[in-house]
Structure 1
Amino acid sequence: MNFKVYILAISTIIVGLVELIVGGILPVMADDLHITIGTAGQLITIYALVYAIAGPVLLSLTAKIERKKLYLITLFIFFIGNIITYFSPNFTFIMIARVITATSAALVIVLSLTITSKIVEPEHRAKALGIIYMGISSSLVLGVPLGIVLTNALGWRSVFLGIATLTIGSLILIYIFLEKIPPENTQPLSVQFKALANKKIAGAHLATLFMLAGHYTIYAYFTPFLETTLHLNQYWVSICYFLFGLAAVGGGALGGGLADRIGSQKSILLIIGAFAIVLLILPYSTFSFPVFLVLMMIWGALSWSINPAQQDYIIRSDPDTSDIHQSFNNSALQIGIALGSGIGGLVMEYTGSVTRTTTVGSIVVVIAFICAVVSLKIPAQWQHSESINRIR
């Protein structure tokens, strides 16, 4: 595997930490800033919304800039955003900093994906993308416990100073090891958004969105699930989060390897189908803690294994607009996270049962499976056009 892929993966880990790391330290931040926890929670909401929109838009607006130069500039802006957070005197400044970090992180992630797809051989592309997603997933699932540990030891501001310091290291690695990558001819933004009219790829985006929505319907409320069904204390809850995180990190590489072996299309259906089944039977495994741990780690691995296959599938389905669709797919992931958290909250509010979130989450994943099936049945537009040209 091209070692540059691992350097890009390191960058995705660093920028990915900022998104959900706030979730574990909201009470501390709220108390220090003299605001309610609900108000502090807006830091997560605004980040997700800005992130989802910024990726596709910025990828288009910066299309004519050499890729390495753009990567370095974006990482530096991300560094500035974290420094602003560290020195912020009030909530308003932190909110501004969150917009800056969300915008820059979105572009770093999509650049990492698009650059990776260009610097590796096609037969290894899914596996390479799996490594990038392993970086993304590891930052998302391990960020919360890491943030809690640092906050308890050094205060919540140390979290963002630490991320800023790591960003400097990433800047140095990218500057030294990544070669210049010329920009490609890119269509105007208005034309690129019309690419969503491609029903085949739109179905793939919806599959990503609903799978992550189903996942976060339960994962966003995993702590009360563990406390209610298994009566675990905080120590064992932390152990579960750690094991889940390890499984999720490995899931990215697992999905990429699977796609390389059996193909992206079969992998997508296999992963989504298995994911729906695991969520459905999860509450029934709580009779035995060891059995639950095994099923939980399968859930964790499957939760992020879909992404490499999806990215490879998107590239193969429409190479001409693959860059913008990779960004759209990453945005769909973010929207899915927000949607799933909202659905889970509604389920708990109206049923009063955290275990019902698994059933609802499984149903949402079934919707993802249907979207994937519909997408796979639609012929690729570019292949159809090539066939017509050959006939002519």
Structure 2
Amino acid sequence: MPFRVYILAIAAFVVGTVELIVGGILELIAADLNVSVSAAGHFITVFSIAFAVSAPILMNVTAKMDRKKLYVISLFVFMIANLIVAMSSSYNVILAARALSAMSGSIIIVLSIMMASQLVPPSHKARAIGTIFMGISGSLVLGVPLGMVLGNAYGWRAPFFFIALLSAIAMICIQLLMEKTAPNPIIPLRKQLASLKDSKIVSGQLISFLLLTGHLTLYAYFAPYVQSNFNISASTMSIIYFLFGIAAVSGGGIGGWISDRLGTRKALLFIVPSFALSMFVLPLAAQVSFYIFMAVVMVWSALSWAISPAQQTYLMQSAPETADIQLSLNTSIMHLGIACGSFIGGIAIKEASVAINPWIGGAIAMLGLASALFSLSRRSRADKQPLATTKLAAEV
């Protein structure tokens, strides 16, 4: 794999860290800004919404720019946005800066995927894209726990200073080591959204949305949830996040293996209900012992990423003529799920208790199963087309 692909993966790692790092230091942020934990959780919500909405729009607006130049500019804006977060004392200013970092981060992620695929021959395209996603998932393993360690040792602002530093290093590396890359042909937003007229595709995309909504209902407030059940130190919480991340990354590989062995249809029907079940079991396991709870947490974490290979393969198989568009839209839809999950979880904490978050998340994940069953029962337009052609020929 070319060295430059790994540089792009590191940049993706930094963006992935920024999005979810807030979940591990929510209580530190809330105490410093004198806001509630649910209000601090809005820093995740606003990031995810801004990412989801801006990704397709900004990629179209900047479609004629040289990709390397756009990447460097995006990294610079990303760095500035995180410096604002680190230095501001205003809740509203931090919200705005989080939105700005998400907008620039969305360009960085999409460009990383596109540029990595262009750096390798067609036979290694999937492997290059997989390397970028390893960077994103790797932020769960190292980024979030590292952010917690820095936050607990030097204050919650320290991780954002560190992220700004990494952004500056990545910007220099991209400028020095990457070659100019011509832009790809522009795909109008109308064409990107046209495929969503197919009920099979819409319900297929909703699987990601509902599962991530259910997942983030608890994961965005996972630290407060664990603290409410067990009396553990901040360092132990960092270890829990580290183990969670290892399970998440391994889950991606397990999900790919299941999808290859069983096929995407059976994989979806196995992984989605298993994920919902794991969320329902979590509060029960917490009543038994910490070690049983952690075993269920590892299963829950692995299943949260296991769905991705089957889901993305299913979308490509259902709409092969718009496969790239489906994957791009799926990225936005996933972030909308993250935003909705963190928002719903915050409401649950404010109105009741964090103890009910896994139950709500599991119920939303079950809606994902209903969406999967509906999508699998529909015929794709590609399947319908031959029938329509045959009928027309018969009439003629």
Q: Which residue of 2 is the match for residue 304 of structure 1?
A: 305
Contact kept? 2:55, 2:103, Cα under 8 Å:
yes
For 1:188, give the aligned amino acid.
P
Q: Which residue of 2 is the match for residue 313 of structure 1?
A: 314
Matched, 1:161 2:161: yes
Aligned counterparts of 2:220 and 2:36: Cα–Cα separation in 1: 20
Q: Which residue of 2 is the match for residue 46 of structure 1?
A: 46
Q: Alpha-carbon deviation of 1:87? A: 4.7
Q: Alpha-carbon deviation of 1:194? A: 2.8
**What whole-Å deviation, never above 9, does each CA across 1:301-327 have from its counterpart, x for those lacking one?**
111222233333334433554444323
| Change beyond 3 A, Cα 1:227–1:161 | closer
Q: Which residue of 2 is the match for residue 63 of structure 1?
A: 63
Contact kept? 1:83, 1:160, Cα under 8 Å:
yes
Matched, 1:366 2:362: no
For 1:364, give the aligned amino acid.
I
TM-score of the two chains, using structure 2 as the length reference = 0.81
Contact kept? 2:46, 2:339, Cα under 8 Å:
no
Matched positions, count: 391
| Change beyond 3 A, Cα 1:374–1:44 | same
**What whole-Å deviation, never above 9, does each CA across 1:78-127 have from its counterpart, x for those lacking one?**
12322344454744543442222110111222333344556667776666
| Change beyond 3 A, Cα 1:342–1:80 | closer
| Change beyond 3 A, Cα 1:259–1:315 | same
Aligned counterparts of 2:121 and 2:200: Cα–Cα separation in 1: 24
| Change beyond 3 A, Cα 1:151–1:283 | closer
Q: Alpha-carbon deviation of 1:65? A: 3.2
For 1:313, give the aligned amino acid.
Y
Q: Which residue of 2 is the match for residue 189 of structure 1?
A: 189
Q: Alpha-carbon deviation of 1:212? A: 1.0
Paired residue secondary structure (1:363) = helix
Paired residue secondary structure (2:330) = helix
Q: Alpha-carbon deviation of 1:57? A: 1.3
Paired residue secondary structure (1:187) = coil
Q: Alpha-carbon deviation of 1:211? A: 0.7
Q: Alpha-carbon deviation of 1:32? A: 5.5
Query: For the aligned residues, what is the CA RMSD?
Result: 3.6
**What whole-Å deviation, never above 9, does each CA across 1:263-298 have from its counterpart, x for those lacking one?**
444433332232123223333434244333222212
Q: Which residue of 2 is the match for residue 332 of structure 1?
A: 333
For 1:212, give the aligned amino acid.
L
Aligned counterparts of 2:95 and 2:351: Cα–Cα separation in 1: 31
**What whole-Å deviation, never above 9, does each CA across 1:322-377 have from its counterpart, x for those lacking one?**
444323212222222232234445555666571x4334322221221222233234
For 1:219, give the aligned amino acid.
Y
Q: Alpha-carbon deviation of 1:238? A: 3.7
Contact kept? 2:52, 2:335, Cα under 8 Å:
yes
Q: Which residue of 1 is the match for residue 17 of structure 2?
A: 17
Q: Gaps spanning 5+ residues in structure 2: where?
A: none
For 1:206, give the aligned amino acid.
L
Contact kept? 1:130, 1:252, Cα under 8 Å:
no
Aligned counterparts of 2:388 and 2:67: Cα–Cα separation in 1: 34
For 2:76, give the aligned amino acid.
F
| Change beyond 3 A, Cα 1:141–1:52 | farther
| Change beyond 3 A, Cα 1:289–1:161 | closer
Matched, 1:293 2:290: no
Q: Which residue of 2 is the match for residue 273 of structure 1?
A: 273
Q: Which residue of 1 is the match for residue 77 of structure 2?
A: 77
Q: Which residue of 1 is the match for residue 240 of structure 2?
A: 240
Q: Alpha-carbon deviation of 1:66? A: 3.9
Give the alignment of 1:17-166 within 5 angstroms: 17-26=17-26, 28-29=28-29, 41-88=41-88, 90-116=90-116, 129-140=129-140, 143-166=143-166
TM-score of the two chains, using structure 1 as the length reference = 0.82
